[in-house]
């Protein structure tokens, strides 16, 4: 292939930001129903794939390196300092435990689905060709990040597990294929609320108590001042700097000959931990962190798409991975139902808990608004807890798969 048309890091970054801006503008301007089924994230990832494979932008650039080394940890800082565990617990009560059990279901489901995929791949155990390579544990870890937290966790896990662009493609494709089935199930469950709540032995006053707690919760955030933005920059850059320095000096951790904590993994774990510790301080009250964080992560998703070489992509592998993802989501569903029975929570809480896992901050409010509008703020808080856990548990999911094939 000839030299790309745009090679300057500033030019490449401009293209990535333009791609992200265009798709969100089009979604808002057109209000096409298409975006209800295929959110802008898919197009933000796919467009740079086309641009790099047609020679407009390169597969490798200093802009991509900058986003990986600095953009991703800064995003993690800004997102996780806003986590409010106590606020979610006050509103949802035992529903928090249902969500946590759903997260456990994602971890175990991912491991079991990967183990099943590897067993089917073995020629003597299955007569058909099932092309799920051994290193697909990186894709399983990447997707578990999305299913425990959200897009940010997916990209963080992808970086921590040192996955390539194909692994993210597999995860993103499976995420959307499952989402198209799972979201209608969560929305439709409202129709069975009365029967479900009787079956789960839900206390009669649970819904009223949740409504009251939600009404008492203050979720308003003012526009940030210049000084507050400077404080945010200081926290994000400071935590990123410390995490980068420590990740270079901390030794890698190996189990059974496999490196399970590398420098990349240390970086994600360190910055996640520092940000969560900061969320328990007045830093959490600084406004403006969330929109800045989301802008960064969408540009980072575009960056990963730009590194995808279509000549190396395998549709067979992607199909096999999507099939295992359906097995995986069924295991998560069983865990969610078990949690609802164990903690005696209503169908609205169950649906929001699962949406906070599988759909993250984008889908949880949609499900909450459909089930019980008063719980929309709580659904966002629950999704933020998923963000807090996602990096740790996604790395665990991937590394469990790695140990299986080592």
Residues in the chain: 406
Instruction: Decide if 174 contacts 321 (C-beta within 8 A).
Output: yes
pLDDT of residue 265: 87
Is the model's pLDDT at 126 over the cut of 60? no
Is the model's pLDDT at 218 over the cut of 80? no
- What pLDDT band is residue 128 in, cutting at 50, 70 and 90? low
pLDDT of residue 216: 65
Which of 112, 83, 25, 101 shows the shortest CA–CA distance to 383? 83
Angle at 75 between CA 74 and CA 80, to 5 degrees: 105
List the single range of 42-51, 198-207, 239-248 with lowest mean pLDDT.
198-207
- What pLDDT band is residue 23 in, cutting at 50, 70 and 90? very high
How far apart, in whole angstroms, are the C-alpha atoms of residue 120 and residue 230? 53
Most confident of 17-21, 217-221, 281-285, 303-307: 17-21
Mean pLDDT of the chain: 86
Please state at what angle helix 9-30 crosses helix 40-53, rounded to 10 degrees.
140
pLDDT of residue 20: 94
Token reading at 261: 């904590």
Compute the average pLDDT of residues 26-35.
Answer: 86
Name, in order, each residue with C-beta under 8 angstroms of 199's C-beta and a sequence gap of 6 or more.
none
Instruction: Decide if 165 contacts 308 (C-beta within 8 A).
Output: yes
- What pLDDT band is residue 129 in, cutting at 50, 70 and 90? low
The pLDDT tens digits for 304-332 are: 888 877 765 567 788 888 899 999 999 99
Most confident of 62-71, 77-86, 176-185: 62-71
Place of tokens 């194909």: 166
Report pTM: 0.80
pLDDT of residue 384: 84
Long-range contacts from 36-42, C-beta under 8 angstroms, 24+ separation: 37/180, 38/176, 39/362, 40/298, 41/151, 41/172, 41/298, 41/301, 42/172, 42/176
Which DSSP letter does residue 255 get? Answer: E
Compute the average pLDDT of residues 83-90.
Answer: 78
Using CA of residue 303, residue 306, residue 312, residue 313, what is the dihedral sign?
positive
How far apart, in whole angstroms, are the C-alpha atoms of residue 365 and residue 382? 10
Is the model's pLDDT at 282 over the cut of 60? yes
Per-residue buried b or exposed e for 196-206, using 16+ beta carbons within 10 Å of the residue's own CB = bbeebebeeeb
How far apart, in whole angstroms, are the C-alpha atoms of residue 350 and residue 89? 14
Count Cβ atoms within 10 A of the Cβ of residue 329 and give its class: 0-12 exposed, 13-18 middle, 19 or more buried.
buried
List the single range of 73-77, 89-93, 105-109 with lowest mean pLDDT.
89-93
Up-side HSE of residue 330: CA atoms within 13 Å toward CB? 8
Is the model's pLDDT at 1 over the cut of 60? no
- What pLDDT band is residue 336 in, cutting at 50, 70 and 90? very high
**Percentage of the chain lying above the pLDDT 70 cut:** 93
Is the model's pLDDT at 222 over the cut of 90? no
Using CA of residue 83, residue 88, residue 90, residue 96, what is the dihedral sign?
negative
Count Cβ atoms within 10 A of the Cβ of residue 83 and give its class: 0-12 exposed, 13-18 middle, 19 or more buried.
buried
pLDDT of residue 152: 80
The more confidently predicted of residues 358 and 377 is 358
């Amino acid at each position: 292939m000839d030299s790309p048309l745009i090679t300057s890091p500033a030019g490449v970054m401009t293209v990535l930001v333009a791609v992200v801006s265009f798709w969100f503008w089009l979604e808002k301007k057109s209000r096409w129903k298409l975006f209800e089924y295929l959110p802008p994230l898919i197009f933000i990832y796919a467009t740079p794939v086309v641009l790099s494979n047609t020679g407009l932008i390169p597969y490798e650039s200093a802009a991509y390196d900058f986003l990986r080394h600095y953009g991703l940890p800064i995003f993690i800082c800004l997102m996780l300092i806003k986590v409010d565990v106590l606020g979610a617990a006050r509103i949802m009560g035992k529903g928090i435990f249902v969500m946590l059990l759903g997260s456990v279901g994602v971890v175990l489901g991912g491991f079991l689905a990967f183990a099943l995929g590897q067993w089917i791949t073995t020629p003597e155990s299955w007569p058909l060709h099932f092309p799920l390579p051994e290193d697909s544990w990186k894709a399983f870890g990447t997707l578990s990040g999305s299913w425990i937290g959200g897009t940010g966790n997916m990209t963080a896990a992808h970086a921590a597990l040192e996955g390539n662009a194909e692994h993210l493609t597999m995860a993103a494709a499976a995420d959307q294929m499952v989402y198209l089935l799972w979201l209608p199930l969560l929305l439709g469950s409202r129709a069975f609320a009365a029967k479900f709540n009787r079956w789960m032995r839900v206390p009669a006053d649970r819904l009223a108590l949740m409504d009251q707690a939600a009404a008492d919760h203050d979720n308003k955030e003012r526009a940030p001042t210049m000084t507050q933005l400077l404080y945010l920059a200081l926290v994000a850059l400071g935590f990123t700097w410390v995490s980068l320095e420590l990740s270079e000096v901390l030794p890698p951790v190996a189990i059974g000959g496999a490196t399970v904590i590398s420098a990349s993994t240390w970086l994600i774990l360190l910055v996640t931990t520092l940000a969560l510790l900061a969320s328990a301080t007045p830093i959490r009250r600084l406004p403006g962190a969330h929109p800045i964080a989301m802008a960064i992560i969408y540009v980072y998703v575009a960056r990963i798409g730009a590194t995808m070489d279509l000549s190396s992509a395998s549709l067979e592998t992607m199909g096999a991975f999507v099939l295992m993802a359906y097995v995986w989501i069924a295991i998560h569903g069983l865990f969610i139902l078990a949690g609802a029975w164990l903690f005696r929570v209503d169908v609205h809480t169950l649906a929001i808990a699962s949406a906070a896992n599988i759909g993250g901050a984008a889908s949880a409010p949609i499900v909450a608004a459909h089930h019980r509008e008063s719980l929309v703020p709580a659904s966002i808080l629950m999704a933020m807890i998923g963000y807090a856990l996602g990096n740790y548990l996604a790395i665990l999911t991937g590394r469990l798969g790695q140990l299986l094939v080592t």
